[in-house]
C-alpha cells in the first residue's frame, strides 16, 4: 500500500528545484510514474513529498545543430524520440532503440529522463546513449553539472543524482563521418525488458577502412550497462572482418559478469553476448562502410 504523501505540481524548473532543496531525502521526483509507482506500491520507496515534474513544459524538447549536436529535454517521451524526424535522419539508432521499448502505450507516457534515472540495468536507452558518447546535464539550486552517460548509473537502480538534483537534458554529439551503429535487444517476447542488450558503434578511417574507434556496450549483464573494453581493443586499429568480430565477441563474453535470474542463467547470457556482439558488430560495420 502506498504511504500518504504531500503532492506538488511545479510548473517551472526553479519551483521544482526549490522544493527539492527544501525537502531533499524526504522527497521524490515523479515524471510519468511508470517505474516509480511500482516500488512505491511495494513500500520500498516511501517519500513524504512527491514532486510531479511532468507539467514542466520547458523540459520537453528535441533540438539539433551541427556544432552542439542533439539535445533532448529529460521529459521528452520515448515515443517523441522514436518519431522525431531529426533523430530518424541523423541518429537512426536512437529511434530504432526507442521502437523496442515496451509498448506504444508505455512509450507515449514514459520519459527518456525517467528511464535513465530509474537506472534499470536492462533498460534500453542507456547502452545506446553510451555508444553514442552521450552526456547528461543535471541541475539543482546550487548550479548545474554535466557528466557522460557512462558515469551516470552507479549500481542497480542507483545513479549519481543528489537528492536535490533533477536530470534536465540528454546530449548527443553529431556522429563522426563513416560511423555505423546498431542495437539488438534479445527478449523472449516483443516489448519485454532485455535479457541481453548489445550496441556497437564503429567509426572507420575513410582512407583505408581501418577501425578508428569502436564502442561495444552491453545491457542486462552487470549492475549497470558496461562497455566491453577488451573486445573494443581487439578491433581498434584493425581492418574488421568476421574472424576479428568473433574474437571480439569472445572477449566481450569473457568480460561480461551477468547473474542468473528467472529470465536466464549466467551461462546463457554469456553465450548470448558472443552471438549478439558478432551479429550487431557486422551490422554496424556494414552501416559504417556505407556512411
Residue ranges that bind ligand FAD, judged by CB under 6 A: 28-36, 74, 78, 101-102, 106, 110-111, 113-115, 117-118, 123-125, 161, 166-167, 193
- Find the Cα–Cα–Cα–Cα dihedral 30, 36, 40, 42, rounded to 10°: 180
* 285: its cell numbers: 560495420
206: left (phi over 0), alpha (psi -120 to 50) or beta: alpha
The nearer residue to ligand FAD, 104 or 267, going by C-beta atoms, is 104
Smallest separation, CB 203 to ligand FAD (Å): 26
Residue nearest ligand FAD, CB atom distance: 110
User: Strand, helix or coil at 167?
Assistant: strand
Q: How far apart are CA 163 and CA 166, in angstroms?
A: 8
Give the shortest CB-33-to-ligand FAD separation in angstroms. 5
Length of the chain: 291
What is the nearest approach in angstroms of ligand FAD to the Cβ of residue 119?
8
Least separation in angstroms between residue 39's CB and ligand FAD is 8
CB of 82 to ligand FAD, least distance (A): 12
Give all strands of the β-sheet with 226-227 in edge-to-edge order: 179-186, 196-204, 211-219, 226-227
* Complex with ligand FAD: residue 10 or 258, whichever CB lies closer: 10
Q: For residues 78 and 270, which CB has a smaller minimum distance to ligand FAD in the complex?
A: 78
In the bound state with ligand FAD, the residue whose beta carbon lies nearer, of 126 and 249, is 126
| Shortest CB 285 distance to ligand FAD, Å | 26
Return the number of the residue (34 or 203) whose C-beta is nearest ligand FAD.
34
* Rounded-to-integer distance, Cα 286 and Cα 267, Å: 29
Rounded Cα gap, residues 117 and 32, in angstroms: 12
Query: Reduced to 3 states, what is the DSSP secondary structure of residue 126?
Result: helix
Q: State the CB neighbour count (10 A cutoff) for residue 243.
A: 8
CB nearer ligand FAD, residue 69 or residue 219 = 219
124 in Cβ contact with 101 (< 8 Å): yes
Shortest Å, Cβ 23 to ligand FAD? 13
User: Looking at beta carbons only, is 94 or 248 nearer to ligand FAD?
Assistant: 94
H helix intervals, the chain = 13-23, 37-41, 78-83, 85-90, 92-98, 104-109, 112-118, 125-131, 229-235, 242-255, 266-290
Amino acid at each position: 500500500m502506498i504511504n500518504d504523501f504531500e503532492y506538488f505540481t511545479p510548473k517551472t524548473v526553479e519551483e521544482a528545484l526549490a522544493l527539492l532543496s527544501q525537502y531533499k531525502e524526504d522527497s521524490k521526483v515523479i515524471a510519468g510514474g511508470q517505474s516509480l509507482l511500482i516500488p512505491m506500491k511495494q513500500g520500498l520507496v516511501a517519500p513524504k513529498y512527491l514532486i510531479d515534474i511532468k507539467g514542466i513544459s520547458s523540459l520537453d524538447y528535441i533540438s539539433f545543430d551541427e556544432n552542439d549536436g542533439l539535445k533532448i529535454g529529460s521529459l521528452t517521451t520515448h515515443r517523441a524520440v522514436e518519431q522525431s524526424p531529426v533523430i530518424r535522419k541523423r541518429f537512426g539508432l536512437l529511434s530504432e532503440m526507442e521502437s523496442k521499448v515496451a509498448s506504444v502505450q508505455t512509450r507515449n507516457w514514459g520519459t527518456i529522463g525517467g528511464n535513465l534515472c530509474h537506472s534499470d540495468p536492462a533498460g534500453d536507452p542507456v547502452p545506446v546513449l553510451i555508444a553514442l558518447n552521450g552526456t547528461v546535464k543535471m541541475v539543482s539550486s546550487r548550479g548545474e553539472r554535466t557528466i557522460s552517460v557512462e558515469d551516470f548509473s552507479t549500481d542497480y537502480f542507483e545513479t549519481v543524482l543528489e537528492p536535490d538534483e533533477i536530470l534536465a537534458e540528454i546530449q548527443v554529439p553529431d556522429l563522426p563521418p563513416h560511423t555505423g551503429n546498431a542495437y539488438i535487444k534479445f527478449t523472449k517476447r516483443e516489448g519485454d525488458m532485455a535479457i541481453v542488450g548489445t550496441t556497437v558503434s564503429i567509426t572507420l578511417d575513410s582512407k583505408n577502412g581501418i577501425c578508428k574507434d569502436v564502442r561495444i556496450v552491453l545491457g542486462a549483464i552487470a549492475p549497470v550497462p558496461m562497455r566491453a573494453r577488451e573486445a573494443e581493443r581487439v578491433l581498434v586499429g584493425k581492418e574488421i572482418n568476421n574472424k576479428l568480430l568473433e574474437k571480439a565477441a569472445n572477449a566481450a563474453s569473457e568480460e561480461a559478469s551477468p547473474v542468473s535470474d528467472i529470465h536466464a542463467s549466467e551461462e546463457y547470457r554469456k553465450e548470448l553476448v558472443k552471438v549478439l556482439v558478432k551479429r550487431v558488430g557486422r551490422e554496424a560495420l556494414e552501416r559504417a562502410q556505407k556512411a
